[in-house]
Amino acid sequence: MSAERGTGGASRGIPLRIFITGFMGSGKSTVGPLLARALGYEFVDLDAVIESKEGRTIPDIFSGRGEEAFRAIELREITLLGAREKIVVATGGGALTRGATLDALRGSGILVYLRVPAETLFERLRGVKGRPMIADTSGGSLDDDALRARISALLAVREPFYSRAHITVDAASQTPGQTSLAILRSLHAF
């Protein structure tokens, strides 16, 4: 692994790039800024970067260009972020499902997985709009049974990829602040 350690992070043994992954609703965009602040790093939300550069929302990219095009854009941006220092990046929930993306993340920093059980994810995502992977064919919210089934199916596919993270933290039974502290402890021990 080439997760470099450098000034600022080096004295504490913290890598220069930390990538946070997990299913949508796991808390990446909430925990990430807390962790970045604690480290004195910049926080980057990968989806926000993509939307800004593409001038379109993630759902628009999915519907207009398809998932494969979106995943190619995601890999491009992860590669660019892998050259920056002192950053905490919240990735998209499906980013790791492409081998090249998983390799890029693992090779340029520390990958942290926020693990949350399916039922907790269901409660967090119920009624959420604007998430293409959990929307019906018209872009609307799925009913409860369909949402539970979709979350379970996606988790079954993604879990083997998530399990390749360097660090796994339980993000269901803790507050975002506690999750951030758990990551910090794991980073120091890594």
| Spans of all domains in the chain | 10-117+166-178
| pLDDT of the residue at 17 | 96
Q: Per-residue pLDDT tens for 135-173? A: 887 778 888 999 999 999 999 999 999 999 999 999 999
Whether residue 39 contacts residue 9, with contact meaning beta carbons closer than 8 Å, is answered with yes
Average pLDDT, rounded, for the chain = 89
| pLDDT of the residue at 141 | 83
Whether residue 20 contacts residue 165, with contact meaning beta carbons closer than 8 Å, is answered with no
Whether residue 171 contacts residue 22, with contact meaning beta carbons closer than 8 Å, is answered with yes
d(CA 68, CA 156): 20
| pLDDT of the residue at 7 | 35
Among residues 24, 65, 64, the alpha carbon closest in space to that of 46 is found at: 24
**Domain 10-117+166-178 falls in which CATH fold?**
Rossmann fold (3.40.50)
Q: What is the DSSP letter of 10?
A: G
Q: What is the DSSP letter of 17?
A: E
pLDDT over 80 (residue 178): yes
Is the pTM above the cut of 0.85? yes
